[in-house]
Homo-oligomer: A and B are copies of this chain.
Amino acid sequence: MAKKSAELPAIATAGDVARMAKVSQSAVSRAFTPGASVAPDTRKRILEAAEAVGYQPDMIARSLMSGRSNIVGVGVGNIVNPFLSATLDLLTIKLAEVGLRLLLFSTDDSSITQVPAREVLQYRLDAMVLLASALSDELAGHCARARVPVILYNRQAQAGAPVSSVSGDNITGGRSLAAFLCASGHSRFAFISGIAASLASQQRGSSFGAYVSEQGHAPPIVECGFHTYEGAAAAARQLLLRADRPDAIFCANDMMALAAIDVARSEFGLAVGRDISIVGFDDIAMARWPSFSLTTYAQSTARLVEETVAIIQSVRGGAEPIQTIIPGTLVVRNSARTPKVASWT
């Protein structure tokens, strides 16, 4: 309240509280430990004393003894992607609900999260989650040595890798979108991929391509959009300049689809949803904005995050790595032509 300068009372320790409540420091510790054995009224007395001096157990000291920090590390390459920022937002909230804090790692290299691998070791992290970014061997090694469980988000683990993963259903998604587009009568397909290293992008693209081929169409032309707006805009430009211009473009994520729509409309004068169909993957908030009205394969951020938190909890308890796939759903809007009959279900 008032403007005190340097004569603030020193921050209280368990010892201070013990003295006030006339108990041992151990008792104070127990009073703040969920299942510990303390007599109801000594605990009460202790908590009152703590309240009086504003005591809070020091997490740092607590971590030193317990060996865990109650902090989970999160590595993100491209927070600016709304799908990831929405995830980060929700993840922070959900982790807080179970008493976990989130330490954020980032990188200016958008291709692969080069999480400063050694840092991870130094914080006794309860877990490390990689948001839609690749796990370098170095980081994997460090985490293994430090016994920090790794969780891949929006990306499946390599078969046999000792890491957990929570992923959307890329295969079904790619096929659903392809089926929808085929049913709408398209015949010249293109795929704007994410970065080459992204398994999710690969899965989306190849399942899409597989379906299209099964239907007897030429395989999709592929351009790389690097998971970014700018990258995808360039890719779309390439595609639309071709003599054999595609009439349906699938983008490995929504952000890229928005770029493709913008380019098709503003640079080529195409009516998206009539002259050309463009679809994405994720269902970010912008997908439903009237300027885009994007047909896409929706992933539930809520479910992905919930699952992630659940996995963190169980692997913290020593469980084996868990690998899950969360189903998505096709969301039909207006950026792609709609089939005459509902044969594409």
Interface residue ranges, A against B (CB under 8 Å): 1, 3-4, 8-9, 11, 54, 56-61, 63-64, 69, 71, 74, 76, 78-80, 82, 85-86, 88-89, 92-93, 96, 101-108, 116, 118-119, 121-124, 141, 144-147, 160, 162, 229, 258, 261-263, 265-267, 285-286, 289-292
Give the most central of A61, A122, A267: most B CB within 10 Å: A122
Checking B3, B4, B102, B146 against A104 with a beta-carbon cut-off of 8 angstroms, the contacting residue is B102
Q: Is the CB of B289 within 8 A of A262?
A: yes
Query: If A80-B85, A104-B104 touch, does A57 touch B285 (CB 8 Å cutoff)?
Result: no
Q: How far is the CB of A170 from chain B (nearest CB, A)?
A: 24
Query: If A86-B80, A229-B285, A292-B291 touch, does A8 touch B104 (CB 8 Å cutoff)?
Result: no
Q: How far is the CB of A195 from chain B (nearest CB, A)?
A: 17
Q: Is the CB of B71 within 8 A of A80?
A: no
Q: In the complex the two chains form, what is the Cα distance from A160 to B89 in whole Å? A: 32
Q: How far is the CB of A74 from chain B (nearest CB, A)?
A: 8
Q: In the complex the two chains form, what is the Cα distance from A11 to B266 in whole Å? A: 57
Q: Is the CB of A71 within 8 A of B103?
A: yes
Q: In the complex the two chains form, what is the Cα distance from A162 to B102 in whole Å? A: 27
Q: How far is the CB of A278 from chain B (nearest CB, A)?
A: 13
Q: Is the CB of A8 within 8 A of B144?
A: yes
Q: In the complex the two chains form, what is the Cα distance from A231 to B102 in whole Å? A: 29
Q: Is the CB of A60 within 8 A of B64?
A: yes
Checking B57, B82, B89, B147 against A122 with a beta-carbon cut-off of 8 angstroms, the contacting residue is B57
- Complex interface: chain B residues within 8 A of A88 (CB): 79, 85, 104
Could you list some 7 contacts between A and B, CB below 8 A? A3-B160, A60-B69, A71-B103, A79-B86, A79-B88, A96-B116, A291-B291
Q: In the complex the two chains form, what is the Cα distance from A11 to B143 in whole Å? A: 11
Q: In the complex the two chains form, what is the Cα distance from A292 to B258 in whole Å? A: 12
Q: How far is the CB of A37 from chain B (nearest CB, A)?
A: 24
